[in-house]
Amino acid sequence: MKGSKREIVVPGENLGVVEEYIPGEGIREEDGNLYSVYLGSLFEKEVKLSVRPLKRTILPLRPGEIALGEIRGADRQIYHIHLTALIKPRRAILSPPVSATMSKRPPNVGARPSDIVLVKVSSVKNGTVAVTMGGPPELGVLLSFCPVCGTPLKKGVGYTLVCRSCGKVYLDRKISSMYGWNPFKEGLISYVKREK
């Protein structure tokens, strides 16, 4: 385990072994290994480990907030998105996810269902949340999977994504300047994917 105190851990993350640590709250033991039960902050006191779940956000979302989401579907004019976490300025997991819509008009072009996106809340009206990928360069598609073989796509030149497995190239998607970045750490994106 790494030493830093305010470390964020994900459910199922291996935190050590029973020979090293005593499991406290939010830790489960399996075959001598210790795993986090929650997405939360890891606390280490001498040899005792515990995980406190991240606090739930106080809804509603506010215009201007940056959120992490997954595109769950699309019709002719809009994308349907599940917002799974707030990134800035508040940082929290949204559980259950908050439904939002995003226009398919520019700059929100080229995204497809299953894409993980970094978006800005543009309006909240009568409980309906609208988001956009327009604005700072970090907004856009954060992770995308090859529709042919399911492999995570790698960023190429400009707004190009490439599948290293089957060689397909995808053009003209609004890609985040932080493509591939995980706002929490390795694990959150796959955690979001697993929720299906």
Positions that interact with Zn ion (CB under 5 A): 146, 148-149, 151, 163, 165-166
CA-based nearest residue to 142, from 188, 106, 176, 192:
176
SS3 11: coil
**CB-neighbour burial class of residue 113 (10 A; exposed 0-12, middle 13-18, buried 19+):** middle
Least distance in Å: CB of 182 to Zn ion? 21
User: Would strands 92-103 and 128-132 be described as parallel, antiparallel, or unpaired?
Assistant: parallel
Least distance in Å: CB of 148 to Zn ion? 4
If the CB atoms of residues 15 and 175 are measured against Zn ion, the closer one turns out to be 175
Sign of CA dihedral 100, 102, 107, 113: positive
If the CB atoms of residues 166 and 171 are measured against Zn ion, the closer one turns out to be 166
DSSP state, residue 102: E
Least distance in Å: CB of 147 to Zn ion? 8
Least distance in Å: CB of 146 to Zn ion? 3
If the CB atoms of residues 17 and 169 are measured against Zn ion, the closer one turns out to be 169
If the CB atoms of residues 36 and 144 are measured against Zn ion, the closer one turns out to be 144
